[in-house]
Structures are given as C-alpha cells and as structure tokens.
Amino acid sequence: GLPSLPASEVPSKAKVVWQKFSSQTAFERDMYFYGTFPEDFTWGVSSSAHQIEGGWDADGKGPSIWDNFTHVPGNVNNNDTGDIACDSYNKVEEDIYMLRALGVKNYRFSLSWPRIFPTGRNNSINSYGVAYYNRLIDGLIANNITPIVTLYHWDLPQALQDIGGWESNELIDLFDSFADFCFQTFGDRVKFWITINEPNVISRLGYGNGLFPPNVKEPGSAPYRVAHILLKAHARVYHTYDDKYRASQGGVIALCPFISWAEPKTPSDPRDIEAADRYLQFLVGWFTHPIFKNGDYPEVMKWKVGNRSELQNLPSSRLPVFTAEEREYIRGTADVFCFNTYSAKIVTLSDHRPVAWGLRRVLNWIKEEYGNPPIYIIENGVGKKAKSDIDDNARIFYYKTYIDEALKAYKVDGVNLKGYNAWSLMDNFEWVDGYDPRFGLHQIDFDNPNRPRTPKRSAVYYAEIIRNNGIPLPKEDEFLYGEFPKNFSWSVATAAYQVRKLRWTPEVSVDNLNLGLSIWDKYSHTPLRIGKDATGDVACDSYHRIEEDVEMLKSLKVSHYRFSISWSRVLPDGTTRYINEKGLNYYERLIDALLAANIMPQVTLYHWDLPQALQDVGGWENDTIVQRFKEYAEVLFQRLGDKVKFWITLNEPYNTAYLGRAPYVVGHNLIKAHAEVWHLYNETFRARQGGLISITINSDWAEPRNPHNQEDIEAARRFMQFFLGWFAHPIFKNGDYSEVMKRRIQERSLAQEFTESEKQRIKGTYDYFGLNHYTTVLTYNLNYPKGVNVLLHRGVATVTDRSWLGSGSLWLKVTPFGFRKILRWIKEEYNNPPIYVTENGVSERGAFKFNDTWRMHYYRTYINEALKAVVLDGVNLRGYTAWTLMDNLEWAVGYEEKFGLYYVNFSDPALPRHPRASAKYYSQIINCNGFPDPATGPHPCLEQEPEGAEIALYVLFALSIVGAMGLALFAYKYGKSSKRSHKQSHMELVVNCNISTS
C-alpha cells in the first residue's frame, strides 16, 4: 500500500487547488493544450458485467439483485432489463475485436459474483461462469491487452441480499471468500484488481434515496452503516491479496470511488471554499480518507454528523466508529488511486455546458489531498439520448476536452496520472435508465438478436488519441517564424457607421442641419432596438478628433488606415442634388492628416449606412440604386481621388443582402453597383489617379463536421458558395453565380439572372480580393422547410467545436487554422488574385484591462496563419488589416462587445482613448514585418518591447498556462431525483454544499 498520511485538516490543505485555479481567467482555463503522455501511460475502455453480459440465467448463473429488480415492471425506464444486454456472455471474440481496433492497452470489466458463485458462497462454483472469464482473460492476454478486473460492480447475488446484503457483517467474509477464489483462479493473469466500484454510489443510491436495489430509503443512517461494512470488506480483500497472493502474483489492488468536482460559488469567500472542501470530503473522503490517510473518516465528517446526531438527541453518532484496530487494518489498503468521473454541470443562470476543466481540478485535489499517489481514471464519458448516434460529434468534443484537461493536469501540474479509461466500450444497460442514454464508443443494435456492434466516430477519434499517446500539436499548427514580403501593407480599420454582425460607428452623425440621416441613425433612434438604447450619435466622436485618431495610428506604425465615408454626410439625401461641403471637408482634412503622417488611406465607399432618403424609395431593392451609387462614387473620385489610391466599393455585401426580404434582388443590385463603379474608375479615373479599386467580401471558413462524411463535405462547399461565393463567383470568376447556388435558388423560384452583357460587365471587376474574416464553423447537411432566408436555401446547419476558444461574441470562436484555409481557398478558387485582408480581430467583454491576452493570442495566431499562407502556400497576400482601431458601438449589444486595440472610456464625456497591450503587440508585429526567429536574433525590431504585456504573453506561450475561473456551486444530487441512474446523477449538480448531513 501507499504510505499513510495524517488526518486532513478542516478545511483540508487541498484548498490550495481552489486558491490556485479559481482566480484564473477564462482564457487560461479554456486554452487548448497540446502534448503527450509518458510511454507507460495506459489507455483503456471500461464496462461492467451486468451492463453488457446478458445470459442472466445462462449455464447455472444465479440471480443478482439487479436481475430481481429489473424483472419488476416499473422499476426501469421502458421496463428494460439486462437479461440479454449486449450478449457479451456469448461474444468474447466480438468484444476483443473491438478492443483491438481501438488499440487499447487495457480493458476494465467486472466479474459477476452470481455467475461464479450462483448462491454467493464458494460451495456453489459454476464452472461455466469461470470458463467464460477465462476465455475473456486469455483472449485479452493473447492480444496484449491488460485486464483490469473489478470484483464487485453492484450485482450482488440475490441469495446474499436475502440474508441482509451489505447491511450484514457476514458479507465481509463472503466477499473475501469470493475475492480469494478470483485471485486464485485468475490472478496468474490479472495484475490489476478493483475491489468495489463506486462504494459511495452504492451507499447513497442503494440505501439513501433507494433508487437502486436494495431500495432502502434511510438517507440519515443506512448509507453510513453500509459504507462502514464496505470499507471493512474492501480492507479484508486487500489484506487477503497482500498476505496470500501479492508475492507470487505481483499485482495492484484498489477501490474505485465516484468523484465530481465542486466549485465554490464565490471563490474569494473562504467559507465557500470550506463548503466545497466539505462536499468533497463527504462525497469521496468518506472512503478515501480512511484508506489513504489514517484509517478513519475525515474529521469534518465526524464533527458534522456527530453534531447533527446530538441535536437529534440520538445516543450516538449516525456515523459509526472504527476501533483502533480497525483503523490500523484499513489504512494503507490501496496501491493506486482509482476513480470514475462524468460531466459536472456548471450551474449559473443559463450556462449548462459540461465543464471539462473540473477534471483537471479533481486531479489536482487528489494530488494535494493524498500526497500525489499514482492515479487512474477508470470511467469517464458522456451519455446521449439517441437510438443511433454513429456520427457522435458531441461525444468527440467531450473526449477532446476532458482528455485535454487530464493532459494539463499531468503535464502542467505534475499530477501522477497513470491511465485513462473511457466509459464505455459499447452502448449498454444503463441501470434504471435502461438502454437510454447511450455511452458507447460502439453502437449496439438492441433490436437485433445478434446485437451487432458498430464503431461510432468517437471510437475512431479515441483510437487516434491512443495511437498518438495524447494530443500532440498538429504539424500545421506549429508556429512559423518569418517575415511578410517587402511592401506588405499593415492597416487598421474603422467604419463610419458600421454594423457587421451588429456592430458600431466611430463618427458623429448628427452634426448639423445639412446632414441627412442614414438608415442606422433611424434604426438606432428606434427604442429597444439596440442594447441599452445605445446610438452612434456620438460614438467615439471621431468627427471631432482627427488629431487624436492619427496619433493612435502613428503609434501603431500602420502603413495604411481603412475607414469609410458616410454617404449621407456627403450627400444628405443620397443624390448629387446637394453636396454637403462641410461633411466632405472632414474627409479631406482626415486624408491630409494621414498623408502628412505617411499613412495611406484605404477608403470604403459604402459601409452600410445608406441615406434614409434612398431607403425610403426602396434602398437596395430598387435598381435605380445602381445609378445613385455610381454618382456618389464619382463625387468622391473627383474630390478625393488625387489623394486616395485604395478604394473599396462595398463592405460585406453579404450582410446587406442576406437577412432582408429579397436577398437575391439586393445581392443582384449590389453586384451591379459595384461593377459600374469599378468601370467608372477604370475608364475615367485610373489613368490619372492610378489607384486600386475592388470589393470587400466577408466569410467564415467552413469545415465539414465529419471530414469523412461526403454529405458534410458538400455542406461545407455549399456554405462557402452561398457566403463568400455569392459575390466572389460573379466578380472573380465568370460574371455569374455558382452553379450550386443557381440550382438551389431556382428550385425556389427566387432566381435573379444576369444577362450575357451584364455578365461580361461584372466579370473581372476587381483589382484585388478584399477579405473580412473572423471565424470558422463546422457544417453538415440539413434540409430546411422552404422560406425566403438565404440560410435556409443553402441547406447547411452549423456547429462549433467545444474545444475552440470563445470570445466576447457568441458567433466568434478563435480558429486561426481556418484563416489559412480560406486564404488558400481564395487562391485556388479564383486563380490566385492579390488579396488584402481588410478586417480581422476579436472581441472581449467586461471592464477595461490593459493586458488583453486573449486579443494578443488572436492576432499572434491569426497573423501567423496568414504568414503560412504566404510562405508555405504561395497565397498572394498583399496586406493585413486589424479590426479595429478602438472600441465602438457594437450594434445590438451597445458598447458591450469590444474589438478595439484602443480602449475608449465611453462614460467619460471626453472619450479618452487608451492603448491596450494588444496595440503594442500589433505595432511590434508591424515593426518586424512578421515574426523574426528568436534563434537568429537579436532583432532590432523587437527591441522596444512593451512592458508587462510581452512578458505575460511569453509566459503564456512558453509554459502554456491553463487554469480557470468559474462561478458555480456544485453538489451531488443524491436524494433529489426520483428516477435517475447514477450516471445521470453524476451529471446533475445543485446549489447546495451541505449534502449528506441530513
């Protein structure tokens, strides 16, 4: 056994785990970690006898308490039984085949006591049962798979229940004699024994809420009495192994409790930490404190139960007392620390995600509380209510995140983790839930008498993790040092009244009587449209702050600045009938100030703020808009074109079109308007002014949800054609929409067709490809009912990978790999055009903090992917633009989602701007024109390192710190539900730490 330890203090010293992790930021907590486990790490899958074997009365097997229980109608969901289950009793070969395919190093299963001793006693040995387990064990050994064998996984012989079950001291001898027989019979080949599976669940569910057989409902006392006997029985079996078998067989033996993590509601409140600590002592310490510490229950448990018993005027504590001899006998009776754990749910107002990070904290708690013993995770998995879930995406995300937390615990925290077993090898009988939910890596068809086994996609994924011995950093994700081409343009963007994904404006729009309203002025002045009724009336007041804005640009060291012109500021009613000279003058002054600072303007003609007067006559649905837009552009080319050499006709036409009543009509007019303005510039102004003009198209990148599923792959292609391709295909390809888009829209009689001459006029109207890009989605095929919405026509549903970092915006996940892929896709799809990234960035929420590590991480990884696109993929990338210069009005959420490199204090009427750490970080990338390799240093461009920020980032990436913050108070929901299996109970947590002291 492991060395014994003194009793835990109250609260225990393991409270350092909360102190360490509860203060970590969500970024540190959720950052994905790459690495591998040590060579001798053991990967496995788990099962248990009653859940898979079937053959409940085959070849002389005696009934177990679960056989009797399930045969009573109404006890189990759907009246399911384990009579046949997966029929593993007859399918040794099939089961071993699955294990081999997974590549597991171990298989954890349990022995059915009544299959071996039908009456529970060793005068009734059933040779068929023994032969079955010999076949299984021999098959495993022959395939190099280590058996991990549980002696007791809940299926007590009914005959022993009839004499009192685990409430009777007789069970100690009887269990020992069963174990002794198993050691003697199988111990030559079995080197890893688990005495009792989840004794804490047996006590609580069998004797507390009475949910499991023997259905005793005495929560105040029976669980403690039964636990007392289970602990003694465990210790007896341990000593038998130690005394009689260890020397010759040389295995390890332990018990296996269930654990779920508890997070203090207010981590800074020591009383909440004490409550969380008490919760774990009552849940786990109950069994592990006697075994791994001093042979006795945790002090806090003795006090609490003792005090309550006294208050209840009981003659003695409901928690039984061990004699000194018994304590001596129990302590040290484990060679390793085994445990099972499932989803913990974080309980806040709306957030019900499974929280993988709880696993890392559980592991750290075990390390701190029990002196860093060797630890084996024996069960971990997720159940889904679905008859068939072969394409089990959610289960993959589950393993992807939970195994990653185990990896962090091992690599970063030094937890002595030795093995990981997934629950479960296959769908099986889930106790009182019957065959629903399903936890398997393999699907079982329970309607088919042959019980065929089919690997789910999670099985393929888990096999890959095993093959890699963890989660190594994929080759394509390795950081690339290097520089961008000479003359690469570095820019930062804003917009006059911009709204992409419901975003913002940095300019004043109500300035003087000459100024016409834009559609966004009207919208934002309609109550209840925008969060907190924010408007862009003042926004960042950039209209009055040219100098301040240019100072920021200079300190960023950008070579370009992208901004947009407010159409209605220049032409108040949208037409050239009246030109607002004062408005135009603002842009002239801005441009002059930029040029004086050697910063090239990149000017967007239309960034969504249509003059309301034009909207009143139909806006983009009225094809006269094409001519209006051309006239507006002509004014700007004439008046500003001598100084502006980079024009963007339209920003993100997709967002103007896709949500409206007539998306394809609007899209059609946008494309024609763009083409006309391009031709105007090309024919009338280019020779004299010599600038570039093109369009900026936004798009997410789409990955098939299942990369091996043809339907998902096609859904991804369709997603790209309906998003980026809608505008790019006509302009950059052949003057017309893509075939897939035309076909699907024609089917719905919504088609807009270009004439041949229009096609000729549209095709090739670009000088570069302007791209706004932020994030990636996973796609799969879904046929929606008919409707006008573009999102329905494309027949694609999207999800995101749960391991992806989030941001301040729900739609924006940090997915740098998608950036490189979309750049490569544009190169291949549109014949390698010059590309300017005209927007890219990330949002945060919450109070101002200088160190916006999240944003630095975003820019670092995204810009690095852009570098890979240039250096490794030959993408013709000419420039990059960060979104955005400063915080601004985030449309529907008001000022809550902050994308700025500069923070703007909107509550101060002076609207002061302050650089965040990311501003300094971005300026350093610009200064270096990329990422110089430290190994070839020193690099003068790196010299003016921003203080704290750079150090924080260095520490972050060098050490891959990971950790967490979360507010939730967990408690195990024993005794709260009427009909739930333990697995479901594992997943339900309530806000109440004072469990089990009733």
List residues with catalytic annotation.
379, 839
Between 126 and 721, CB nearer to ligand NAG: 126
Q: Which residue is nearest to ligand NAG (CB)?
A: 68
Q: Is 67 left (phi over 0), alpha (psi -120 to 50) or beta?
A: alpha
What DSSP letter does each residue of 677-707 carry, written as one string? HHHHIIIIIHHHH--EEEEEEE--EEEESST
**The dihedral of CA 421, 423, 429, 430: what is its sign?**
positive
Between 61 and 345, CB nearer to ligand NAG: 61
Between 25 and 68, CB nearer to ligand NAG: 68
What DSSP letter does each residue of 349-379 carry, written as one string? SS---B-THHHHHHHHHHHHHTTS--EEEEE
Contact letters for ligand NAG, residues 957-976 (x by CB under 6 A): --------------------
Secondary element (H or E) of residue 602 = strand 600-606
Collapse the DSSP code of 917 into the 3-class scheme (helix H, G, I; strand E, B; otherwise coil) and give the result.
Answer: helix
CB 382 → ligand NAG: shortest distance, Å? 33
Half-sphere exposure of 754 (CA within 13 A, CB side): 25
- From 68, 709, 960, 992, residue interacting with ligand NAG (rule: CB under 6 A): 68
- Please give the torsion angle defined by the CA atoms of residues 479, 480, 481 and 487, in that order, rounded to the nearest 10 degrees: -130
Collapse the DSSP code of 473 into the 3-class scheme (helix H, G, I; strand E, B; otherwise coil) and give the result.
Answer: coil
Whether the Cβ atoms of residue 494 and residue 556 lie closer than 8 Å to each other: no
CB 75 → ligand NAG: shortest distance, Å? 12
Between 69 and 883, CB nearer to ligand NAG: 69
Dist CA 195 CA 179 (whole Å)? 8
Between 163 and 510, CB nearer to ligand NAG: 163
Between 159 and 650, CB nearer to ligand NAG: 159
Between 9 and 162, CB nearer to ligand NAG: 162
What's the length of the chain? 998
CB 436 → ligand NAG: shortest distance, Å? 25
Query: Which 129-158 residues touch ligand NAG, going by CB under 6 A?
Result: 158
CB 60 → ligand NAG: shortest distance, Å? 13
CB 368 → ligand NAG: shortest distance, Å? 45
Contacts of 57 (CB under 8 A, 6+ apart): 63, 67
With both helix axes pointing from N to C terminus, report the angle between 546-556 and 917-928 in degrees, rounded to the nearest 10: 60
Between 70 and 853, CB nearer to ligand NAG: 70
Q: Is 938 left (phi over 0), alpha (psi -120 to 50) or beta?
A: beta
Selection from 64, 86, 28, 40 nearest residue 153 by Cα: 64
Whether the Cβ atoms of residue 445 and residue 451 lie closer than 8 Å to each other: yes
Dist CA 873 CA 170 (whole Å)? 73
Total residues interacting with ligand NAG, rule: CB under 6 A: 3
Selection from 251, 289, 259, 204 nearest residue 379 by Cα: 259
AA letter at 932: P
Contacts of 910 (CB under 8 A, 6+ apart): none
Between 114 and 536, CB nearer to ligand NAG: 114
Whether the Cβ atoms of residue 341 and residue 380 lie closer than 8 Å to each other: yes
Dist CA 773 CA 762 (whole Å)? 24
Query: Which 153-172 residues touch ligand NAG, going by CB under 6 A?
Result: 158
CB 103 → ligand NAG: shortest distance, Å? 40
CB 211 → ligand NAG: shortest distance, Å? 18
- From 44, 63, 536, 641, residue interacting with ligand NAG (rule: CB under 6 A): 63
Between 68 and 684, CB nearer to ligand NAG: 68
787, burial (CB in 10 Å: exposed 0-12, middle 13-18, buried 19+):
exposed
AA letter at 121: R
CB 83 → ligand NAG: shortest distance, Å? 11
Does residue 524 touch ligand NAG according to CB under 6 A? no
Query: Which 315-374 residues touch ligand NAG, going by CB under 6 A?
Result: none
CB 58 → ligand NAG: shortest distance, Å? 13
> What are the backbone angles phi and psi of residue 236, rounded to the nearest 5°?
-60, -45
Dist CA 833 CA 822 (whole Å)? 13
Residue pointed to by tokens 């690099």 = 939
436, burial (CB in 10 Å: exposed 0-12, middle 13-18, buried 19+):
middle
Between 120 and 455, CB nearer to ligand NAG: 120
Q: What is the 3-state secondary structure (H, E, C) of 528-595?
A: CCCHHHCCCCCCCCHHHCHHHHHHHHHHHCCCEEEEECCHHHHCCCCCCCCCCHHHHHHHHHHHHHHH
CB 52 → ligand NAG: shortest distance, Å? 20
Between 158 and 424, CB nearer to ligand NAG: 158
Whether the Cβ atoms of residue 951 and residue 400 lie closer than 8 Å to each other: no
Between 36 and 119, CB nearer to ligand NAG: 119
Dist CA 496 CA 964 (whole Å)? 38
CB 159 → ligand NAG: shortest distance, Å? 9
Collapse the DSSP code of 914 into the 3-class scheme (helix H, G, I; strand E, B; otherwise coil) and give the result.
Answer: strand
Contacts of 474 (CB under 8 A, 6+ apart): none
Residues that bind ligand NAG (CB under 6 A): 63, 68, 158
